[in-house]
Amino acid sequence: MIYLDYNAGAPVKPAVRVAVMEAMDRQGNPSSVHRFGRAARKHMEEARAAVGAFAGVRPAQIIFTSGGTEANNMVLRGFGERAIIASAIEHDSVLANAANQSRLPVTRDGVIDVTRADEILEGLTPGAIISVMLVNNETGVIQPVGEIARLAHRYGHFIHTDAVQAAGRLPLDFRDLGVDFLTLSAHKIGGPQGIGALIINEKIAVAPLVRGGGQEMNRRAGTENGAAIAGFGVAALLAADDLLDMPRLTTLRDRLQARLQDAGGEDVVVPGADAPRVGNTLNIAMRGVSSETQVVGMDLAGIAVSAGAACSSGKVKASHVLSAMGFGSDVAGSALRISLGWNTQEQDITRCVNAWSALHERTQKTKKAA
């Protein structure tokens, strides 16, 4: 199998695996005062410092969570009944916390419409929570978070960014972004699954989502997952290598896109192609062929790709991201997300092109026969 679904979760890096295994061999609860507990605490705080350095923040601003979804829920549920305004292209873990509230619209290229955002934010009662992802998980389009943050603060609102898909693909600096809260997830950068972080502005109090203990500086109860945190710390240190590797991945992505466009001709649509994108992500629609058919066909050919955000139900549905960009069901229901990462090689791209081209040829013959 060729794995081209890094946006769903990157393969664990070898050094991360070693760190996790070493941590599992150690004893001690980091909240215990004996020497085993103190040692566990020391290793955990070293990992916290690594994640903090990765995002340009002090370790005390890091709250470890079970992943990006919990981190998003923590900040969006941590302010009582305040309005939550999200962009129309956010991950479901954000949209589910802003049900029935207005959305910040995006352009045809998948970029938040800053002019409309300005109008919407100005009309809100001060103190709303604005949530805008830094990089879209389906298209790879980079969002103007800095501009939205300035608008949010101008009108007295708080700003949160889900930076899960930006980590390791763009330089991250919490202060430069101007946000109040930022979400990370380890398994997007070659770390373990089941561990993430919420980075906070310490001047703003957020109510704990999980209660019943004093862990994480009284912000998130429950014994910390020491092994996963250790792996997260190593993955954060290695993320600098991912940034250095991004030009190579961008070249591979662009080559893949061009070859698929040549093979598919007028049947191909590439949402977000004209906007700034991170270099590892390609969203491509084979017009008129369902995403599910394509995912299954590629899987049978030995290529792992997805139709968009990984879904716990395992079902493939039309993309709400592409719908928000103004595409009809012929595109929104026919798109694949192909995402590259640290272990992707040139031959993987060739095999992907061959499998996709063969699938396209078969589906065209089926259409003509019908």
Total residue count of the chain as it appears in this document: 370
What are the backbone dihedrals phi and psi of residue 5, each rounded to the nearest 5 degrees, phi first? -135, 45
d(CA 116, CA 105): 7
Minimal CA–CA distance to 258: which of 245, 247, 272, 268?
A: 268
The residues that bridge with 70 in the sheet, in sequence order, are none
Asked if 131 and 342 count as a contact pair (C-beta separation under 8 A), the reply is no
Neighbours of 248 (CB within 10 A): 15
3-state secondary structure of 153: helix
3-state secondary structure of 248: helix
d(CA 112, CA 324): 10
Neighbours of 199 (CB within 10 A): 27
Out of 21, 204, 217, 311, which one is annotated catalytic? 311
d(CA 153, CA 329): 37
Q: Is 311 a catalytic residue?
A: yes
d(CA 186, CA 24): 17
Q: How far is CA 345 from the centre of its chain?
A: 22
d(CA 236, CA 157): 30
Question: Which residues participate in catalysis according to the annotation?
Answer: 311
